[in-house]
Amino acid sequence: MTLTSKGQVTIPIEIREALGLLPGTAVEFDVVGNTVRIRKAGDQRRGSELVARMRATASRAAGPRMTTDEILALTRGE
């Protein structure tokens, strides 16, 4: 593997697939001695950013005191 003039390398497809690294996946680098480790950053469950935004929106719109049943009733139009 060769480092580009911009400091970039291509992660081989086998590694990307094994780790579930998709385009847009946030990663972190850890320096351990004279090696560098790459790993997914924070909570990388698929859709976790969307879920977090929906929860924040729901808290502002509906208030934090609604029960799950009340929320489901709203989403079902009951």
pLDDT for 74: 83
Q: What are the 10-residue block averages of pLDDT along the chain, 78 residues in total?
A: 92 90 88 91 68 71 71 81
CA angle 10, 16, 20 (to 5 degrees): 145
- The residues, any chain, with a CB within 8 Å of residue 12's CB and separated by 6 or more, are 1
Give the burial class of 17: count Cβ atoms within 10 A of its Cβ; 0-12 exposed, 13-18 middle, 19 or more buried: exposed
Residues of the chain above pLDDT 70, percent: 81
Query: What stretch of H or E contains 71?
Result: helix 68-76
